């Protein structure tokens, strides 16, 4: 597990004022790399609505596999109104947004108290980085007097490591996720082939341009050489008798 803190600059008044205006805060991100056999097909994100929409637009795995869960699973309590779930299926969302985490952080009552320290979570078996299977948790770092509130959020990390490690999709959901991944792999292969073809065409065009420039330079040099020879050659004078 890797924990990364992003601390705001505090060395001058202008920076501090700017952070206040933009409501920027210190954050900490926990990144957990899951073993290949310890995570099923899962793509899910949870954040405030504005952030969730931005993540859905910018994160490649969310773009390709997930969509906003606009209504809670039937008969279930659900996340606070401020939050949005983006998931590959309603089954995944319902299975991973459990009553435990709703009572602890994400339900209306708990989020009213602890939500100010939550930024986002993002789980994916299709992460575009060097590791495919990743759990990401991002929180605001509280000030010293509220640091105890952080413990409730941090407990989400081991909770989800255990839950995701044990989680298995239903056969119906798995058939859909397998089809989606097969399609994504095919599209990625086509993109790679197109990129290679474009690179080859670009290389050919550059080579052709270079050859044309070399040929143009050769002709110019030949022309200049002929001019210099003509200039340096003997001058003959015709005499009439």
Residue that finishes a domain, picked among 152, 169, 186: 169
With bands split at pLDDT 50, 70 and 90, how would you rate the model's confidence at 126?
very high
Q: What domain count does the chain have? A: 2
Indicate if the pLDDT at residue 237 is higher than 50.
yes
pLDDT tens profile 201-220: 888 888 888 888 888 888 88
Indicate if the pLDDT at residue 141 is higher than 70.
yes
Task: Give the Å distances, CA to CA, from 29 to 117, 154, 187.
Answer: 12, 10, 31
Indicate if the pLDDT at residue 10 is higher than 60.
no
At CA 38, angle to CA 36 and CA 43, rounded to 5?
Answer: 85
CB 124 within 8 A of CB 43: yes
Task: Give the Å distances, CA to CA, from 124 to 40, 52, 83.
Answer: 9, 15, 19
Same-domain pairing of 24 and 6:
yes
Provide, for the chain, the percentages of residues in helix, strand and coil under a 3-state DSSP scheme, each rounded to the nearest 5. 55, 15, 25
Same-domain pairing of 59 and 143:
yes
Collapsed DSSP state (helix, strand, coil) of residue 65: helix
The structure tokens listed for 166 are 């044990």
pLDDT (0 to 100) of residue 191: 81
C-alpha–C-alpha distance, residues 193 and 189, integer Å: 6
Indicate if the pLDDT at residue 18 is higher than 50.
no
CB 119 within 8 A of CB 138: yes
| Torsion from C-alpha of 187, 189, 194, 198, nearest 10 degrees | 140
At CA 25, angle to CA 67 and CA 96, rounded to 5?
Answer: 30
Same-domain pairing of 39 and 137:
yes
Nearest CA among 30, 28, 27, 29 for reference residue 1: 30
Same-domain pairing of 181 and 119:
no
Same-domain pairing of 41 and 156:
yes
Q: Dihedrals φ, ψ of 2, to 5°?
A: -115, 130
Q: Which residues pair with 28 in a beta bridge?
A: 5, 139
Q: Is residue 66 part of a domain?
A: yes
Range of the domain at 175: 171-226
Residue that finishes a domain, picked among 169, 184, 216: 169
Q: Is residue 236 part of a domain?
A: no
Q: Which residue has the higher pLDDT, 204 or 4?
A: 204
Same-domain pairing of 77 and 130:
yes
CB 55 within 8 A of CB 68: no
For the chain, the residue count is 241
pLDDT tens profile 87-121: 999 999 999 999 999 999 999 999 999 999 999 99
């Amino acid at each position: 597990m890797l924990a990364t803190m992003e601390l705001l600059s505090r060395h001058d008044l202008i920076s501090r004022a700017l952070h206040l205006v933009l409501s920027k805060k210190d954050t900490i991100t926990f990144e957990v790399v899951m073993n290949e056999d310890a995570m099923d097909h899962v793509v899910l994100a949870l954040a405030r609505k504005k952030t969730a929409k931005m993540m859905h637009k910018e994160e490649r795995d969310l773009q390709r596999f997930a969509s906003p869960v606009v209504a809670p699973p039937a008969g279930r309590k659900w996340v606070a109104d401020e939050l949005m779930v983006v998931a590959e299926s309603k089954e995944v969302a319902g299975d991973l947004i459990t009553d435990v985490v709703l009572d602890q952080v994400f339900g209306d009552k708990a989020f009213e108290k602890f939500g100010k320290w939550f930024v986002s979570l993002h789980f994916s078996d299709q992460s575009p980085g060097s590791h495919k299977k990743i759990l990401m948790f991002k929180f605001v770092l509280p000030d010293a007097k509220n640091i105890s509130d952080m413990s409730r959020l941090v407990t989400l990390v081991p909770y989800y490591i255990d839950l995701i490690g044990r989680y298995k999709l239903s056969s119906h959901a798995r058939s859909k996720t397998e089809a989606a991944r097969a399609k994504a792999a095919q599209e990625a292969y086509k993109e790679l082939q197109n990129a290679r073809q474009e690179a080859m065409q670009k290389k050919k065009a550059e080579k052709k341009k270079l050859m044309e420039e070399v040929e143009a330079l050769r002709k110019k040099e030949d022309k200049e050489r002929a001019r210099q020879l003509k200039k340096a050659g003997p001058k003959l004078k015709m005499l009439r008798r």
